[in-house]
Amino acid sequence: MPHGHHHHHHVDPKAGDARLFGAVAVNVGLTVVQVIGGVLSGSLAMIADALHNFSDAMSLVIAWAARKIARRPADAEMSFGYARAEVVAALINYTTLIVIGLYLLYEAVLRFFAPEPVDGWLVVIIAAVALAVDLGTAALTYTMSKESVNIRAAFQHNLADAMGSVAVIVAGAAVIWFGWVWVDPVVTLLIAGYILWMALSEIGGVIRILMLGRPPDLQPAEVLTTVRGIDGVTGVHNAHLWQVDEHHSALQAHLVIAEGHWAEADAIKARVKARVGLAHGIKHLSFELECARHACTDAPEIGTIV
């Protein structure tokens, strides 16, 4: 049975907006410092970290805008409401991460063939500052990330950047102690690999929602078995089970009412809604009623014949 369908109501939206704004301001400032430091020190890993930091700031801006849009009520233009704005924002952010990861892989491979000197101390100092900022930003968005796929994407950006800052510190230390300049592109490869792994593992769930896929915690067969178990229902077909957004699922189907029970069809429909809502946590339910004598023939159980 799914849980957490209403957890998002516990978070104060305006408080979350303030946190996001603060995180954006800090990350933009840090990006400028890192780019300057990366150029002066000759560290590709630091520039990689700066690029990712800039994407952090942009992801937070997108997340903030999506939260504002998602709060709008349904209207004639968007009858389902605007909640999916957050899902679209998550898709944009994860796609950006994938592009950044691929770019860093490319740059790291080039650096292997054309190594450049690196100022280890400058790298370590700036990366240490970056790590502190990354952890602070992650702390600001951690609680909110549990409630929203949109904020979670931004949080993942920040977490990856914190890992990147640790890796950059290691690269700088390797240059200081051993003169190993090759560690810099190796660390860049590791940062890129982690970014790609994280983004690719999360983007599937976002695409699933946008493609009207079934909720991952619900099995259509089990839901329809619940429907058929209601007295007065002899069949169900043309069923569609999908996620409206991260927190809400919906079911639409044709119900076949048993012969002799048409007079209580509305009561039967009400019982189906109550039972399905209780058993599976589905709050958005829409049923078309058919009497058994005139029910559709050869209709698919799931989906609709086009």
Same domain, 193 and 255: no
* pLDDT confidence bin for 120, thresholds 50/70/90: confident
What percent of the chain clears pLDDT 90, i.e. is strictly above it? 23
Look over the chain and give the mean of its residue pLDDT values, rounded to a whole number: 81
Quick check: is 215 in a domain?
no
Closest CA to 234 of 271, 252, 274, 261: 261
pLDDT of residue 4: 41
pLDDT at 244 (0 to 100):
84
Which of 210, 237, 260 is the last residue in one of the domains?
210
pLDDT at 139: 76
Secondary structure (DSSP) of the chain: ----TTGGGGS-HHHHHHHHHHHHHHHHHHHHHHHHHHHHHT-HHHHHHHHHHHHHHHHHHHHHHHHHHHTSPP-SS-TT-STTHHHHHHHHHHHHHHHHHHHHHHHHHHHHHS-----HHHHHHHHHHHHHHHHHHHHHHHHHHTT-HHHHHHHHHHHHHHHHHHHHHHHHHHHHHH--TTHHHHHHHHHHHHHHHHHHHHHHHHHHHHTTPPPTT--HHHHHHHHHTSTTEEEEEEEEEEEEETTEEEEEEEEEEPTT-GGGHHHHHHHHHHHHHHHH---EEEEEEEEGGG--SS--SBS---
pLDDT of 280 higher than 90: yes
User: Is residue 275's pLDDT more than 90?
Assistant: yes
- For residue 269, give the CATH number of its domain: 3.30.70.1350
Percent of the chain residues topping a pLDDT of 70: 92
Residues 175 and 253 in one domain: no
pTM over 0.75: no
- Looking at the predicted structure, is the pLDDT value of residue 237 above 60? yes
**In angstroms, how far apart are the furthest CA atoms of the chain?**
87
Residue 34: predicted pLDDT: 77
Region 44-51: mean pLDDT is: 74
Is the pLDDT at 55 greater than 90? The verdict is no
Q: How many domains does the chain have?
A: 2
Q: Which of 185, 210, 235 corresponds to the end of one domain?
A: 210
58-75 residue pLDDT tens: 777 887 788 788 888 888
Residue 64 maps to a domain: yes
Q: Say whether both 249 and 100 belong to one domain.
A: no
The domain that holds 163 is classified in CATH as: 1.20.1510.10
Q: Is the pLDDT of residue 1 over 60?
A: no
Q: Which residues form the domain of 140?
A: 7-210
Q: Which residues have CB under 8 Å from 285's CB, separation 6+?
A: 250, 251, 252, 272, 273, 276, 277
